[in-house]
Chains A and B, each alone.
Chain A
Amino acid sequence: MLDILIVDDSAAIRKILQRVLRQSEIPIGNIFEAADGNEAIAALKAQRIGLMLSDINMPNMNGLELLSQVKASEIWKNVPVVMVSTEGSQAKVLEAVQLGAAGYVRKPFNADEIKEKLAKFF
């Protein structure tokens, strides 16, 4: 079972994603939360994260900066990162994929979209 890290500056979105994951049949372990990239880095250092869902527009360290740091790290580079963002332009999606994102979900999303994107990691 994978431990999952949800990174979003909105507590509402973190709560929705937690609920979607818990109600899915995906065999997940613990779910951790972070409100920005800095908190996510701290969580990655403290926990054994197997999968990360991250917003892009966040204060302090945004999701693309976080993605770059994760993929540049020898320790975390194999952690799949799925971006969940209102940023829906082709350019932004392409940028995320080039930085190493394993998937991209545009907000607004429904539960099935999240489950479908995550299913391949389990």
Chain B
Amino acid sequence: MTHTDPVISHQDIVAAIRASTADVFATMLGLEITAEDMQTEPAVTTAPSSGLVSLIGLAGNWCGTGSLACTPAFACRMATHLVATPYDSVNEDVLDAAGEITNMIIGNVKTVLEEKVGPMGLSSPTVIYGRNFQTRSARIHEWIIVPFTCGEERLFVQMCLAPNPDTHRDGNKGTLRAGFQVPQVLTG
């Protein structure tokens, strides 16, 4: 990467996440959601956690991972509003809905960021649901975490994005790999 190459700032990512998440919730779910202050987390091994995490990989001149994390109850609520069918426990439909909501949120963030750094590819979402799982991010870059509240529930939209060392020549030796940070709020 040369000094003239475009750079994505934390503010760019946070603004895109806030706008995209609000748009998806208002348009597809009919729910109002409020953004809280952004947080950052280093790559560390997290405490055992519980809940639902949905992950999508991004690849291009910049690459990384976007994710959504919430409680099982809020995942059911999101699916209920998206599909207009009541869900009171996590099943295949709820996992599919969580994956698609992640796809729409991160996909629209990607579209905004592509104006700065060029085309990026988007992977299919992977959704993980369980109790007492432990996660570790196998890379050196920090995560940007944007918490949202919707009634009594919280949702975390997260992104880790950095220049792709395979496509830049600025001496960046960082090895960016897909990984994710589970917010402590999900810890059981």
Q: How far is the CB of B154 from chain A (nearest CB, A)?
A: 21
Q: Which residues of B contact A110 (CB under 8 A)?
A: 27
- Residues in A3-42 with C-beta less than 8 Å from chain B: 9-13, 15-16, 19
- Residues of B within 8 Å of A108, CB to CB, are 23-24, 27-28, 104, 108
Cβ of A46 under 8 Å from chain B: no
Contact B28–A59 (Cβ < 8 Å): no
Q: Does B142 contact A (CB under 8 A)?
A: no
Pair B124/A9 contact, Cβ less than 8 Å: yes
A interface list, Cβ under 8 A from B:
9-13, 15-16, 19, 57-59, 85-89, 91, 107-110
CB contact between B107 and one of A11, A58, A87, A91 (< 8 Å): that residue: A87
User: Are the CB atoms of B108 and A89 closer together than 8 Å?
Assistant: no
Q: Are A12 and B93 in contact (CB under 8 A)?
A: yes
Q: Which of B40-48, B77-85, B162-170, B176-184 contacts A (4 or more CB under 8 A)?
A: B77-85
Please state if B111 and A87 are interface contacts (CB–CB under 8 Å). Answer: yes
**A59-B124, A87-B107, A88-B111 in contact; A12/B119 too (CB < 8 A)?**
no
B107 touches A86 (CB 8 A): yes
Using CB atoms, name the residue of chain A closest to B79.
A12
A15-B83, A108-B28, A108-B104 given; A10·B122 CB < 8 A: no
Please state if A10 and B114 are interface contacts (CB–CB under 8 Å). Answer: no
Chain A residues with Cβ under 8 A from B24's Cβ?
A: 108
Q: Which residue of the partner chain, among A13, A16, A19, A89, contacts B111 with CB atoms under 8 Å?
A: A89
Find out whether the CB atom of A11 lies under 8 angstroms from the CB atom of B96.
yes
Q: Which residues of A contact B83 (CB under 8 A)?
A: 12, 15-16
A86 touches B122 (CB 8 A): yes
Report B-chain residues with C-beta under 8 Å of the C-beta of A58. 124
B26: nearest residue on chain A (CB-CB)? A108
Whether A10 contacts B119 by the Cβ 8 Å rule is no
Other-chain contact of B114, A9, A11, A89 (Cβ < 8 Å): A89
Q: Which one, A12, A15, A16, A88, contacts B108 given CB within 8 A?
A: A88
Question: Contact check: which of B27, B96, B110, B111 meets A10 at CB < 8 Å?
Answer: B96
